[in-house]
């Protein structure tokens, strides 16, 4: 089984610490290289207020990727830079080493596929600047929007292959040391800070201001819904008009009312039986009167025959 690059790097760091680099670091720190590095503090209040005025939806779609270099003691304090950015309201940050290039690339592709409006900024320190350059160029060829590439004290930087316009802004911030000259494209910016060590570049005010400006510019490119002028209230159908309320008698029956005469019991309106309505008897409909028929005159021979009384009649056989 072939060990991974992350495993080999961790073993290398452990051997370096056990082989005497720790003692060398103290010597270098005493000479002023590590001893001058200071931790990144909190952002000024006015800058924090400006960033807080941006929509939270826009700030939530800006992703910052920080790549550390050969800095096992965190002298550059990229972790402090990350905390500084968090206090400005930009919480989507990644902090890793040079061997995280593949993982960072897969994360960018995934985030861009899930949200096409997401924006990305890549920052590399020391030897991590070359990793940041390769990662930014790879993502720009994959049509992932890289708004800015910041190279802090770049060391071992190779040639750029990106064209003008593919990455809107490329900035190199380094100490004023001719021995640390790196090849940059003609459209890139180069800032030299005097009397500073390489580990002081990430936490310098110029670097933090430039990073803050890049973050706010990326957030301004995120399309967000326009805020409403007044609070939104859903439309509700008007309720029907309530019926008139009848004031009921608040008196209640006493528990001894069954011993009282009926006319002394005061019934409440809720217990009183409704009085039945008086039935109304409607008169029967009148029928038109018909004229009586006159008796017909007698006709001779048309008289009923009467049997004389007392004469027996013959029974039928």
Q: Is the pLDDT confidence value at 38 over 70? A: no
Instruction: Flag whether 1 is in a domain.
Output: no
Strand partners, 119: 62
Residue 40 within a domain: no
Percentage of the chain lying above the pLDDT 90 cut: 48
Interhelix angle 45-52/205-220, nearest 10 degrees: 10
Which tokens in the block code for residue 192? 């030299």
Give how far Cα 281 sits from Cα of 92, 134, 199, 275, Å: 88, 105, 111, 18
Residue at 127 is within a domain: yes
Tokens of 236: 């509700």
Could you tell me the residue range of the domain that residue 150 belongs to? 48-220
Number of domains the chain is built from: 1
| 230 falls within a domain | no
What mean pLDDT comes out for the span 23-47?
A: 60
Residues 6+ apart with CB under 8 A from 204: 173, 193, 196
Q: For 197-223, give the secondary structure using H, E and C.
A: CHHHCCCCHHHHHHHHHHHHHHHHCCC
Please report whether residue 84 resides in a domain: yes
Q: Residue 212 domain-assigned?
A: yes
CA atoms in the 13 A half-sphere facing the CB of 41: 6
- Over residues 78-114, the pLDDT tens digits come to 999 999 999 999 999 999 999 999 999 999 999 999 9
Question: What is the spatial distance between Cα 199 and Cα 78, in angstroms, rounded to a whole number?
Answer: 10
Q: In what order do the strands lie in the sheet with 93-96?
A: 93-96, 62-67, 119-125, 146-152, 169-175, 189-193
pLDDT digits (tens, 9 = 90+) for 289-308: 656 555 556 555 555 555 55
The mean per-residue pLDDT over the stretch 112-134 comes to 95
**pLDDT tens track for 130-169:** 999 999 999 999 999 999 999 999 988 888 888 888 999 9
pLDDT tens digits along 231-250: 655 555 566 767 776 666 55
Considering the domain boundaries, does residue 24 fall inside one? no
Residue 146 belongs to some domain of the structure: yes
CATH number of the CATH domain containing 95: 3.40.50.1820
């Amino acid at each position: 089984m072939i060990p991974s690059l992350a495993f080999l790097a961790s073993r290398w760091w452990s051997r370096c610490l056990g082989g005497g680099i720790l003692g060398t670091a103290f010597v270098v720190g005493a000479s002023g290289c590590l001893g001058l590095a200071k931790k990144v503090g909190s952002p000024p209040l006015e800058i924090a207020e400006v960033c807080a005025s941006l929509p939270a939806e826009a700030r939530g779609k800006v992703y910052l990727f920080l790549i550390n270099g050969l800095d096992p003691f965190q002298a550059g304090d990229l972790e402090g830079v990350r905390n500084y950015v968090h206090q400005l309201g930009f919480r989507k940050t990644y902090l890793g080493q040079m061997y995280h290039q593949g993982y960072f690339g897969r994360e960018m592709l995934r985030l861009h596929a899930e949200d096409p409006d997401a924006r990305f900024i890549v920052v590399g320190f020391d030897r991590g600047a070359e990793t940041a350059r390769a990662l930014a160029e790879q993502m720009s060829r994959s049509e992932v929007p890289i708004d800015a590439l910041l190279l802090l004290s770049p060391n071992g930087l190779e040639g750029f292959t990106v064209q003008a316009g593919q990455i809107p802004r490329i900035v190199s911030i380094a100490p004023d040391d001719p021995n640390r000259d790196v090849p940059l494209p003609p459209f890139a910016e180069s800032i030299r800070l005097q009397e500073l060590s390489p580990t002081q570049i990430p936490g310098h005010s110029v670097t933090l201001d430039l990073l803050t400006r890049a973050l706010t510019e990326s957030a301004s490119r995120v399309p967000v819904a326009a805020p409403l002028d007044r609070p939104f209230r859903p439309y509700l159908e008007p309720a029907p008009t309530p019926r008139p309320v009848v004031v009921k008698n608040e008196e209640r029956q006493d528990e001894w009312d069954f011993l009282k005469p009926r006319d002394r019991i005061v019934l409440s309106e809720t217990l009183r039986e409704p009085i039945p309505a008086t039935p109304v008897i409607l008169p029967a409909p009148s029928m038109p009167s018909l004229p009586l028929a006159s008796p017909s005159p007698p006709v001779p021979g048309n008289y009923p025959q009467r049997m004389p009384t007392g004469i027996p009649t013959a029974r039928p056989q």
